[in-house]
Amino acid sequence: MLALLLAAAAFPLAGNWTVDLSTEPGKVYTQPMELVLAPDGTVSGTFYQSRIEGGRWKTDRGRTCVSFRTTDGNGPYHSAACLIGDRVQGQTWAEHRGFLFNWNAVRRR
């Protein structure tokens, strides 16, 4: 238990999150995100059922943020997110699909 508390303090964005990707009010659409933060500043895990690639994290200027890439097999998705209180605010850009999507996430229980 103490090890989990120490890890959470050292890597506050690490863990399992539920990302709200809803586009219409009243139509809930969520996907899981798992972030594994390493002491060397790298990030691994999964987002939207895809493996995180080239991930980095950093705590600076009073916030902890991650940036990483995933793919759907057709092209890359570039995501960046920051921990704001007990939630994550992020965005994902997919140039090959021509969209930028803002999203929020809460920690899975």
**CATH code (residue 51):** 2.40.128
pLDDT of residue 9 exceeding 70, the answer is: no
Q: Domain containing 43: what range?
A: 2-107
Which of the two residues, 109 and 19, has the higher pLDDT score?
19
Cα gap 56→42, rounded to integer Å: 4
What is the tens place of the pLDDT at every residue in 83-102?
999 999 999 999 999 999 99
pTM for the whole thing? 0.87
13-46 as b/e, with b when 16 or more CB fall inside 10 Å? bbbebbbebeeeeeeeeebebebbbeeeeebebb
Number of folded domains that form the chain: 1
What is the tens place of the pLDDT at every residue in 27-48?
999 999 999 999 999 999 999 9
